[in-house]
Structures are given as C-alpha cells and as structure tokens.
Amino acid sequence: MKIGIDKMNFYAPHLFVDMNKLAVARNVDPDKFTIGIGQDKMAIAPITQDSVTLAANAALDMLNEEDKKQIDFVIFGTETGVDSSKSAGVYVHELLGLKPQTRTVEVKQACFGATAGIQMAKGHITLNPDSKVLVLGSDIARYGLNTPGEATQGAGAVALLISADPGILALEDNSAYFTSDIMDFWRPVYSDKAFVDGKLSNEQYIAFFKNVWKAYKGKSGLELNDFEAICFHLPYTKMGYKALKTVLEEASEEVQERLLANYKESTQYNRNIGNIYTGSLYLSLISLLERQTDLEPGARIGLYSYGSGAVGEFFTGILQDGFRKQLATEHHQKLFDARKEVSVAEYEAIFEKTLPSDGSKMELDIEEDPSTICLSGITEDKRQYVNKAK
Ligand code: CAA
C-alpha cells in the first residue's frame, strides 16, 4: 500500500520586513543577509497570530468536508506551542470542526516535530488504511532584536494530509535517523526567545546530514544520481546549500546541475518567509513542486529533516501521477502578493507586544488581521480564538 502526502498547504502571517532594510537598521551590509544568509523577507506574526492560528489557517484552506470525515488523528508539531499541557492540536481540531472521534497530540523535538508526525501518521495509516491524518507544523521563530539570530527569524505553518494512495508524494520505506544530545539550540521553559550557539548549530546540521545520508545510502543502495531533488530543513536558505555541497561531488555533472537548480527553486518560499522551524522542510517541498514545472511523476525527492538538540532524518518519496492537481500554486501567489511590508520600527514594536501572564483580560483588534482564524484575546489565562468564517 502506498502511503504519503495527499495534500499540503502553508500559511504565513500577512506582515513582513525587508531584509535589506533590517540590515541597514542593524548597521550590517545588506549582502550579508540576502547573499551570506540568503533571506529577502521575514514574515512577522502580529499578536493576533500564534502557532495555533497559523496552523489552523494552513489547514482551513486545504481540507474539504470528505477529508474532515476521514481524519481521525491530528499531530501538531511545534516548538513554540502556547501551553505546556494542552495540545495546540485540540484548539485546531475545534477551529476546523473536526469530528470528536479523533486522537489529537502535540509532538516536540525542535524543527523535527512535523517529520516525527509524518512517520507516526504512516504507522497509523498502515493499521487504518481508510483514515487520514492531519499533520501540522507551526512555529514563530524568535531570537531577539539585535541578535545574530535575528536575521533568521520567521513565522508560518504547514498542513499535510497523510493518507493511503496519496495524491502528491508516496513515502518510501527506507529512512535513516540519528539522535545525539547537543546544546546547539534550545529554549528553556521560562524564555520566549531561543538560545543558540550559531556556529555549533551550523556544524551539527551538516554533520547530521552527512551521517544520515551515509546511513541512508547503506540501507537503500541508492545514490545521489537516483534523486531529482533534495529538500532541506531551511533555517535560512544558505544552510541547505552548505550541506548539499558536502556530497555533491558524488553525482555526475548533469545531476549536480539538476540538484542545484532544484535546490534553488526549493528555497524561494523560505527566502521570503524566513525560518518557520518545524514546517520549514515542507515549505521547501511546496516551493519546489510549485515552482519547478519540469518535475514529472515518478521522480524521487529526498527530504532532510533536522531538529536541534538534536535529531536528524533523511527519507524519500516518489511524485505521484496528477500531483500538480493537488497543489495550490495560485492561492499561494495571492498570499504572497497580499502581504504588507512593515518598517523596522513597526516590526520592533510588534516583536515587543506580549499577552498578559497575570490572568488579566486583553482584547485584541482582529479587524487589522486579514486571517480567517485569529487570536482575539485572553481571559483568565485562556486564549480566545475566532474563526471569522463561522
Ligand atoms: N556579503 C556576502 N556574504 C556575507 C557578507 C557580505 N557582506 N558578510 C557576511 N557574509 C556571509 C559570511 O561569510 C557567512 O557565510 P558562510 O556561512 O558561508 O561562511 C554568512 O554571511 C553569515 O555570516 P556570519 O557567519 O558572520 O553570521 P553570524 O555569525 O552573524 O550569524 C548564524 C549567522 C549563526 C546563522 C545566525 O544567524 C544564527 O545563529 N541563526 C540561528 C541558528 C541557525 O539558524 N542555525 C542553523 C542550523 S540549526 C537548525 O537548522 C535548527 C533551526 O531551525 C534553528
């Protein structure tokens, strides 16, 4: 039985800051951000968007009534969840109007959460071929104003529908994964900003890639020439390129060119949104499929997932007949076109806005936010969500 990605969608908040302007404000050469790091725009989440609303908005546009009847498992990957106890998935389940006969959980391992969700979903579909699993990956990346990590922030979510006989990508069985306890990036429960050892994180990302790629080759007997494209977790778009470069010589010249050209297409959406942590790899896959019009059914795509701390995995999928029909390319173009630029000063003000943590009430102006699903406030420590379409 084929199991894999039947549908996929992403959502990003409607605000962004231009990286050239951020560079000027930080007294940095703009080329450092746009070339050295490889980011053009950074999505900014207003206070009316959190990891719950971003994920719910991503799934809302993707699911039809038939999907909703079949979904019986919601897996929410996030490292910027809103509650240490209650799963963010339960809020999304309600906002989307999914059926009560559903298992719902949140999973966490830095940017690896959504990948863990996909692998769990695969097992669930194996046992229940008629069900569908909604896997969400949603995060708001925050390192702090004026920090080295600032240029690699971002916000957004992906929603993936995992099923039998998938419409987009059938996942293959071979997969290589690796865990090692490393303090490259972490966020203690008392901090709303990530702590990071930037250089170590870059090194470990590449070391884990080399490790799982070697193990994958050993397990599968496949080599680089068997791949049409490889998508990477993209904390910033230069990062995947650095990892790809370390193995590129294993391929023929023709394949090297193809992998590099496809890598470029796979980074375009991320380049304009920033790091969305656990959804980032899948945003890159969406970017590749929607922008690279030469891809044909039967092509093998490699996927490298890395979650600091750290867990890495390399796995693969085969593009399915008619996969283009499942994509929402025009819808995504409209989303990009409708975004609004904010100045660096406006971004800083948005960054500093926080919800009360003393139980007091705050009502938020959701008219300013064009998203269908918004956070409308907080009362007695309970977040209030609104689906404007209901
Ligand atoms: N023109 C062109 N390029 C320039 C330039 C200029 N004027 N000035 C600098 N550059 C280049 C540098 O040469 C460098 O390129 P290489 O990496 O290829 O050598 C690049 O721009 C970045 O410069 P620095 O290394 O000096 O940048 P930095 O130390 O200020 O910060 C960072 C970079 C470490 C990535 C930092 O942004 C950071 O800590 N980010 C968060 C951590 C992160 O994203 N880590 C990635 C792996 S971990 C992971 O993947 C999980 C996750 O999602 C967090």
Please say if the pLDDT value at position 155 is more than 90: yes
The yes-or-no answer to whether 3-167+327-387 and 170-324 have a common fold is yes
Task: Domain 3-167+327-387: give its CATH superfamily.
Answer: Thiolase/Chalcone synthase (3.40.47.10)
Nearest CA to ligand 1 atom 25: 199
CA of 36 to the centre of ligand 1 (A): 7
Domain ranges of the chain: 3-167+327-387, 170-324
280 Cα nearest atom in ligand 1: 53
Residue 390 has pLDDT above 90, yes or no: no
Task: Provide the whole-model pTM.
Answer: 0.98
Among 48, 40, 34, residue whose Cα is nearest residue 16:
40
> Which CATH number describes the domain made up of 170-324?
3.40.47.10
Residue found by looking up tokens 């907080």 in the block? 378
Q: Which two tokens stand for residue 298?
A: 């039967």
Which atom of ligand 1 is closest in space to residue 185's alpha carbon? 54
Give the Cβ contact number of residue 371 at 10 Å. 21
Q: Which amino acids bring their CB within 6 angstroms of ligand 1?
A: 29, 31-32, 35-37, 111, 148-149, 151-152, 185, 196, 198, 201-202, 205, 233, 235-236, 238-239, 275, 277, 306, 308
Q: Whose CA is nearest to atom 51 of ligand 1?
A: 308
- Binned at pLDDT 50, 70 and 90, residue 288 comes out as very high
**242-253 as b/e: b if 16+ CB within 10 A:** ebbeebeeebee
Q: What is the DSSP string of 38-97?
A: --SEEEE--TT--HHHHHHHHHHTT--HHHHHHEEEEEEE-SS-S-SSS-HHHHHHHHHT
Q: Which tokens belong to 224?
A: 């680089």
Residue 362 is classified by DSSP as E
| Residue minimizing CA distance to atom 42 of ligand 1 | 198
Mean pLDDT throughout 48-77? Answer: 98
Residue 325 pLDDT > 90, yes or no?
yes
Catalytic site positions: 79, 111, 233
Q: What is the pLDDT of residues 241-283, one digit of tens each?
A: 999 999 999 999 999 999 999 999 999 999 999 999 999 999 9
